[in-house]
Amino acid sequence: MAEDRKQSFRPGDSNRINREYLDSLMVEMRQIGAQLPDTNLELYGHTFSTPVMTAALSHLDSCCPNGMVEMAKGAARANAVMWAGMGSDEELEAIAGTGAKTIKIIKPYADEALIFHKIRHAEQCGALAVGMDIDHAFGHQGGYDVVLGQQMRPKTAQQLHSYLKATSLPFIVKGVLSVQDALLCAEIGVGGIVVSHHHGILDYAIPPLRVLPDIAAAVGGKFPIFVDCGLESGADVFKAMALGATAASIGRKMMEDLHEAGNDGALRRIEAATAELSVFMARTGTKDLSQFDSSIIWKR
């Protein structure tokens, strides 16, 4: 079965490369003096029960009716961070109505006025933070991307800084996959970054956890570092946090749970991943989220 799964991926598939890298990371046990861990996450002035977050997904009605709102309900029940990707103003208002603390990610629209409108609207909805998905600027045919009829464009550091200055919320840059971009984000004063390749938007992209330690070392704790792409379990989240992440998102795996059970499914996924994370923390002497040690991770 494992061989069949490998053959189902095309050469250069970044999701295959990413999964293989995640599975190559092993964990050292440190149990003398260990204790049950505290998984509470302090972020942007709020306390969450877990560093396991939803991913910045979009258009989940194919999973279940009002899929994004159902995911938000599950996140709110789990006291976890909710991320929201592309969607209407009305959808974000409904997400906010669930009580979920939500980070709104905006596409890199060519229409600058639309970007500033989305930032203002996120503020009006009481978002926890707002940000931009910078890796969605280019399409797969050699031109600029077009998403649901909306033209996209790459953004300069100066443009990102203008969005940051337009809001009192933390501004997060999603799609950072190099020390170079991370340092530019630090220079303009962002409130966080997401280390991500947008679920394989580029073939042969480096796995986020491979570059994560270098990014974490380069920015030196200036802002929270989040990770997504192919994370499925508490074990994956543990590895991400041991290598420098502040918190981590489970995305496509959660879509299966939404399809099966709506917000109950999202709640179960977050709780199950948090429980598994707690097991890994307990068996490695990681007492709380400030105690992660990268030397506990070994490469097979």
pLDDT in tens, 11-51: 899 999 999 999 999 999 999 999 999 999 999 999 999 99
Residue-wise pLDDT tens digits, 191-211: 999 999 999 999 999 999 999
For the chain, report the end-to-end CA distance as a whole number of angstroms: 21
Contact between 119 and 166 (Cβ < 8 Å): yes
Which residue numbers in the chain have pLDDT < 70? 1-9
pLDDT of residue 9: 64
- Three-state DSSP at 199 gives coil
Query: What is the C-alpha separation between 222 and 244, in angstroms, rounded?
Result: 12
Quote the pLDDT of residue 141. 86
Residues annotated as catalytic (active site), given as ranges: 198
What is the domain class of 21-299 according to CATH? alpha beta
Could you give the 3-state DSSP secondary structure of residue 37? Answer: coil
Residues 256, 263: Cα–Cα separation, whole Å: 11
Contact indicator for 138, 98 with CB cutoff of 8 Å: no
Contact 257, 266 (CB under 8 A): yes
For β-strands 25-27 and 297-299, DSSP reports them as antiparallel
The residue ranges of every structural domain in the chain are 21-299
Query: What does the alpha-carbon distance between residue 166 and residue 299 come to, in Å, rounded to a whole number?
Result: 43
| pTM for this entry | 0.95
Answer yes or no: are the C-beta atoms of 171 and 163 closer than 8 Å.
Answer: yes
What pLDDT score was predicted for residue 2? 37
